[in-house]
Structure 1
Amino acid sequence: KNAPFWFYANRNGKFSPAPYAGSLSLSIEKPAARPARWWDYSFAVALTGGVDGVKTFDSIADINDNLKSLINPSGYSFNKKKSQKWRYSIDELYAHVRLWCFDISAGFKRFYFGNSYNTHLESEVPLSSGAMLWSQNAAPLPIISVGIDKYTAIPFTYGYAEVKGALIHGWFIDGVGTRRTMLHYKYIAGRLGGKLPVNINYEFHHAAQWGGYSDEYGELGSSLYDWWLVFGAHEGDNIYNEKYNALGNHIGSQNIGLELKLKHWHVNAYWQTLFEDGPVLAPWKALNRYDGLWGVQISQDKWSFISSVMYEFLNTTDQSGPTHDIDGVVFGGSDSYFNNSIYPQGWTNRGFVLGIPFIISPVVTNSERVIYNRTMTHNV
């Protein structure tokens, strides 16, 4: 048994899915407050501690015994199957500096990427269940990030063409059968339209787990040359699986979106894909083109009784077909999203899936890997 889904999903890994749990969070934060100046900074320290309790009963007699002990507090005690688990985590511990349009961040910092988070109105709050590849579901990793966090106009385009993106290096805190695993993440996003009421956007995201030490394969390659192979998604040369596939556990997403921006209204429509096999093709030509996230959010600030409505449809049942390595040459099919044979923990951190939370996290199923990754979900 678990707590209700939205009690713990998309909470940055702060809250436990246990049915009985309590948490306490403390934070100190200095937000960026000078957007018009050529430089700004921010930092945050946030900690969460809590306890999970699980109470089970063998029979009706056990329930009666516990009810009697509640009536007589002096004799109250949990039954032998009751357990408690104390937990604590670093929610955020980072410093961030902006120089002109460039952003540099280091530490445990919450990031979430994808065009499902695009906003226009000052009071608008994204209602999306999260981006396919990187959402608000898991706790942040320690990272170093260099990039442009917000859409910035390209010179000489009069604001009609904008770009943002980042290059990120990070470290996974825990692992199943692996240690010292590293994160490579980069993305580039472009938007056309500027002040026009209709904008279109496109984002390309590429992530990889790489390096470290495997209990089964030994050292996995953590040199600068290995990083370059990971950056370009080139083949490895040490492990059989990586001789014919890219070095590391690679996963990516393409986002296509359309926005309608008016004085009191904002409509954000988006389509996000997920891919684990190459080559990378146009979303409508990919092997798993029937999988993805389709959504639309309509927001307004003219009337106070409602601010936004949102609908999403998620499908991950295709996974490039039922068979892996169909002809022995083209490696693909049976993708098993967020899982990997060399990095058994898969695309997770502290037991929570880093991507969209409807792919159920191992911490929920009490397992070491993602079990339920085929779903067809409507979200309103």
Structure 2
Amino acid sequence: MRKYFYLLLGLVTCYSNAYPQDSTLFYSATLLGAASTPDSPFWINANSYGAIPYKGSFLSAKASIHKIYNPNNPRFFQWSGGIEGIANAGKQSSIFFTDLFIAGKAGPVELSIGQRKEFIGLADSLLTTGSIAMSANYRPYPKIQISTPQFVNIIPGNDIFTFKFSYSDGLLGSAGVHYGNVTNVPEIYLHQKSLYLKLGKRRHKLNLYAGFNHQAIWGGEDKIFTGGLKKAEAYEYVILGKSWLSSRVGNHLGTIDIGAEWKGRDWTLFVYRQSIYEDGSLANLSNVADGLNGIRFKRKDQREKDPGLTLNTILFEFVYTKNQGGAVFDFNTGTFGQDNYFNHYVYNQGWSYKGRTLGTPLIAPQNVIRKNLTDLGTSYTVNNQIIAYHLGADVSWKKINFLFKGTYSMNFGTYKNEYDPYLHQTALLIRAETVIFNKKTDHLSVALATDIGQFYPNNAAIMLGWRKSGFIK
């Protein structure tokens, strides 16, 4: 693996020197320090691509360089790449890469190899609680992906109807198993694909969106099950969602998304819905209530900021996962409720990677909640029935930018272990950031966060940061 890292770094460096006219290099360096209770608050570590530790006070250093595609370059073939390394010191010290990839593009189609931060699903990317199936909460994993990063015209020369897609396969490493012939398999994989459509031209006031994403964790079927499928055959079952012995091969999860954007003179309005599907419950509408709903108002031109108090973006979200197809699971009647989101009957890690939830961080692992609520069994989470209300805002005043996140959730446990009465929880974050020096490449920030309620410990933290970033010509 180390040779793989050095190889990618060497390729990025060599190509940057050989073809500087094809690209723009972007660099970033960040130092963070936090004083915290024994556990860090929810909005300090959630949706940070796994960069911020769960536990206690820490010091963190991050450095990155990315070669991005040049939008002014007419060449049909271009390439990009990036590397971002993080070192954390504290109760959970670690050194790892988030981004480490190289990619090439032929027209609108890109082939990427490695791991990189991405955002999947129709939702706001800055203030959201996180997409239901694949959020910004987990550390990126190595994969090979073919995709169209931007929407592509279906009718040549006319952007009234456009699409974008992705198809990838990645490595998650070894996995513990609690059902079958073995207790561990040496390698499991994450298959992913998505397709999104957009109706409306860029200059139109109204754009409509619809699409889906589908993910599946799989691997080791021939070792786990007697007479289990070989790797090639299992992969076919995974990508097609076919059943084997009355069950799908692997742990499947995805969302069907719809959205609409209205572009006013000064503001844009974006509304979206992500509906969960896992084992067929959505097909018969038994879990149609479950999903993420959002509405965002965003100021169109944020470059010319008023010296007074200015609201740039405000977001409201509602998350509901309490239905899960109903309380009945019965093979005899064909009633398949109790979807048990983010847990799996085979893999111990459920819907996670390196201890981080792949989907919405509102469904959290056992090791971050109050100790009296944990279950000594093999479930990844003991709380996947939630109702949550979320407010996010981006506000500027003079040269200071403020970000606020506030989430109130009602936590009901699982169908097998319900909390009665349900548990209240509030998570709050406010962050202030300002530019220093004339070049505007240096930023100082301070963040305050707290958790108050019955589900997480009562956490609090203050985090100070410095960030330097810019383009290298």
Give the alignment's TM-score, normalised by structure 1: 0.81
Structure 1 partner of 2:341: 337
Q: Provide the C-alpha distance between the structure 1 equivalents of 2:226 and 2:102, rounded to a whole number of angstroms.
A: 34
Q: Provide the C-alpha distance between the structure 1 equivalents of 2:72 and 2:332, rounded to a whole number of angstroms.
A: 54
Structure 1 partner of 2:34: none
Q: Structure 1 stretch 151-160 or stretch 207-216: which is displaced more?
A: 207-216
Aligned partner of 1:271 among 248, 270, 273: 273
Change (3 A) 1:116 1:299: same
Cα offset for 1:217? 4.0
Structure 1 partner of 2:54: 17
**After the TM superposition, which residues 53-132 of structure 1 pair with which residues of structure 2 at under 5 Å, given as runs?**
53=91, 85-117=92-124, 126-132=126-132
Change (3 A) 1:145 1:35: farther
Q: Provide the C-alpha distance between the structure 1 equivalents of 2:323 and 2:224, rounded to a whole number of angstroms.
A: 30
Structure 2 partner of 1:67: none
Structure 1 partner of 2:85: 47
Give the alignment's TM-score, normalised by structure 2: 0.66
- Secondary structure, counterpart of 2:383 in structure 1: coil
Q: Provide the C-alpha distance between the structure 1 equivalents of 2:333 and 2:169, rounded to a whole number of angstroms.
A: 32
Q: Is the 8 A contact 1:147 1:164 kept in 2?
A: yes
Unaligned runs of 5+ in 2: 1-37, 178-184, 392-473
- Secondary structure, counterpart of 2:123 in structure 1: helix
Aligned partner of 2:233 among 212, 225, 233: 225
RMSD between aligned residues: 2.3
Q: Is the 8 A contact 1:214 1:342 kept in 2?
A: no
Q: Is the 8 A contact 1:316 1:376 kept in 2?
A: yes
**After the TM superposition, which residues 1-380 of structure 1 pair with which residues of structure 2 at under 5 Å, given as runs?**
1-34=38-71, 36-37=73-74, 38-53=76-91, 85-117=92-124, 126-156=126-156, 158-177=158-177, 178-194=185-201, 195-212=203-220, 217=225, 221=229, 223-236=231-244, 243-278=245-280, 281=283, 286-302=285-301, 304=306, 305-325=310-330, 328-330=332-334, 332-365=336-369, 369-380=380-391
Structure 1 partner of 2:424: none
Q: Structure 1 stretch 169-178 or stretch 188-197: which is displaced more?
A: 169-178
The CA deviation string for residues 28-82 of structure 1, in whole angstroms up to 9 with x for no partner, is: 32222235532322111112122333xxxxxxxxxxxxxxxxxxxxxxxxxxxxx
Percent identity between matched residues is: 24
* Greater per-residue strand proportion: 2
Unaligned runs of 5+ in 1: 54-84, 118-124, 237-242
Structure 2 partner of 1:61: none
Q: Provide the C-alpha distance between the structure 2 equivalents of 1:220 and 1:364, rounded to a whole number of angstroms.
A: 35
Q: Provide the C-alpha distance between the structure 1 equivalents of 2:156 and 2:272, rounded to a whole number of angstroms.
A: 28
Change (3 A) 1:183 1:331: farther
Structure 2 partner of 1:77: none
Q: Is the 8 A contact 1:179 1:213 kept in 2?
A: no
Q: Provide the C-alpha distance between the structure 2 equivalents of 1:133 and 1:91, rounded to a whole number of angstroms.
A: 19
Change (3 A) 1:112 1:12: same
- Secondary structure, counterpart of 1:357 in structure 2: coil
- Secondary structure, counterpart of 2:363 in structure 1: coil
Q: Provide the C-alpha distance between the structure 1 equivalents of 2:288 and 2:175, rounded to a whole number of angstroms.
A: 31
Q: Provide the C-alpha distance between the structure 1 equivalents of 2:171 and 2:335, rounded to a whole number of angstroms.
A: 28
Q: Provide the C-alpha distance between the structure 2 equivalents of 1:174 and 1:89, rounded to a whole number of angstroms.
A: 18
Q: Is the 8 A contact 1:133 1:355 kept in 2?
A: yes
Q: Provide the C-alpha distance between the structure 1 equivalents of 2:148 and 2:123, rounded to a whole number of angstroms.
A: 18
Q: Is the 8 A contact 1:105 1:144 kept in 2?
A: yes
Structure 1 partner of 2:32: none
- Secondary structure, counterpart of 1:6 in structure 2: helix
Q: Is the 8 A contact 2:282 2:288 kept in 1?
A: no
Q: Provide the C-alpha distance between the structure 2 equivalents of 1:362 and 1:379, rounded to a whole number of angstroms.
A: 22
Cα offset for 1:279? 6.5
Q: Provide the C-alpha distance between the structure 2 equivalents of 1:86 and 1:165, rounded to a whole number of angstroms.
A: 37
Change (3 A) 1:235 1:159: same
Q: Provide the C-alpha distance between the structure 1 equivalents of 2:157 and 2:70, rounded to a whole number of angstroms.
A: 27
The CA deviation string for residues 107-141 of structure 1, in whole angstroms up to 9 with x for no partner, is: 01112211104xxxxxxx63222211111100001
The CA deviation string for residues 294-332 of structure 1, in whole angstroms up to 9 with x for no partner, is: 10111014564121000000011111111222x525252
